[in-house]
Amino acid sequence: MIEGQTNVRSSRFGAGAIDGLGSELGRFLVTTMDLPWRLAQPRLGGQPAGVLFVENMKIETLDRQLAAAPECDTVLAIGGGQAIDLGKYIAWKRGLRLVSAPTILSVDAFVTPAAGVRHGHRVEYVGQTSPDPLVIDYDLIRTAPRELNIAGVGDLLSIHTACFDWELAAGASRSEFPFRPEDVSAARAILADTMAKADAIRSCSDDGLRAIVEGYMRVNTLCLPVGHYRVEEGSEHYLFYELEERLKRPFMHGWIVGLGVHLLSRLQENRHEEAVAFMDQVGLRYQPADLEIKRADLAGSLANLRQYVTGRPDLWHTVIHERTITPAWIDQALAGLKF
Ligand SMILES: [Zn+2]
């Protein structure tokens, strides 16, 4: 099915895949949140040794929860990104088997090795885990709001702008990593396969949900061996980082990445209409109105973007370094968006 090394040691896909899982795990600890736990518990079978609910992702909180967690053999993470990250953190720190059962596909935490934890006001990625198995229960995932599952395509759509950025950086001899055209081609094939499933993703059918999960897993086959996510992270994410620091609040990840793809594909002059048509077809929300971003804030963010990325040496060379964003460009770009 998927060629190459993914971060997923084994997987179980199917409607009802979580049913009875609890009776197979020995002594297990659950990490979750209220709503996903209420949905999953009656179907799980077996009695966990303990249940840890996400409080927040601060490192101090995680370490307190880690110290208080009961002895067990397996950590079963059930929920969205934070519940999965809490499970990853505990499994990593204690050297335990991890079983991940996402109940929503809005972020790719369930297939990535590291856990996102908060140190002060920056998120850092720590640890190394692989789900064994990854449990994709389509029925459970469909209990999440449709638009939030559809948000999962954001980090696949970002291949569109990120690969362009990497090519641009390589062409300017400014790539931070050895440029790998074969990885760019492979990433574009993942995006093409995702785009071909637009209607299935829009309806959140089994086929559509599987397309998102497999897309994430295939991206990992490219990114984990080289140790960076250049094929799926570029200028579209940098706009999001600027907005996050500017407005000091979180956003639905896939939606804000969608807004980034909208604006940065335009700056790149990179098949902008095609990218927007796909977002509309698949039902990905990306409008500033959906994200509650005011026009003045977005205009300010775009005007500051060059300065922002040059002030952060950890960010890669992208179109933002290459093309100047003028006030006239901002006016034109924002005219096509809803506030
Ligand atoms: Zn992302």
The CA 217 to ligand 1 mean position distance, Å, reads 14
The CA 257 to ligand 1 mean position distance, Å, reads 7
Q: Taking 90 as the threshold, does the pLDDT of residue 244 lie above it? A: yes
The CA 62 to ligand 1 mean position distance, Å, reads 23
Structure confidence at residue 1 (pLDDT)? 56
What is the C-alpha separation between 31 and 53, in angstroms, rounded?
Answer: 6
The CA 291 to ligand 1 mean position distance, Å, reads 16
Structure confidence at residue 122 (pLDDT)? 80
Q: Taking 90 as the threshold, does the pLDDT of residue 80 lie above it? A: yes
Structure confidence at residue 128 (pLDDT)? 94
What domains lie within the chain, and their CATH numbers? 11-141 (3.40.50.1970), 146-335 (1.20.1090.10)
Confidence of residue 93 (pLDDT cuts 50, 70, 90): very high
Residue found by looking up tokens 């940098």 in the block: 238
Closest CA to 261 of 234, 243, 242, 288: 234
Structure confidence at residue 52 (pLDDT)? 98
Structure confidence at residue 120 (pLDDT)? 87
Q: Does the N-terminal peptide bond of residue 133 adopt cis geometry, omega within 30 degrees of 0?
A: yes
Confidence of residue 189 (pLDDT cuts 50, 70, 90): very high
The CA 195 to ligand 1 mean position distance, Å, reads 18
Q: Taking 70 as the threshold, does the pLDDT of residue 337 lie above it? A: yes
The CA 328 to ligand 1 mean position distance, Å, reads 28
Instruction: Report helix, strand and coil shares of the chain as percent, to nearest 5.
Output: 55, 10, 35
Closest CA to 216 of 205, 226, 224: 224
Q: Taking 60 as the threshold, does the pLDDT of residue 15 lie above it? A: yes
Q: What is the pLDDT of residues 309-333, one digit of tens each?
A: 999 999 999 999 999 999 999 999 9
Q: Taking 90 as the threshold, does the pLDDT of residue 218 lie above it? A: yes
pTM (2 d.p.): 0.94
The CA 302 to ligand 1 mean position distance, Å, reads 19
b/e string for 170-198 if b means 16 or more Cβ within 10 A? beeeebeeeebeebbebbeebbeebbebb
Ligand 1 (ion): residues with CB under 5 Å are 155
SS3 30: strand
Q: Taking 80 as the threshold, does the pLDDT of residue 30 lie above it? A: yes
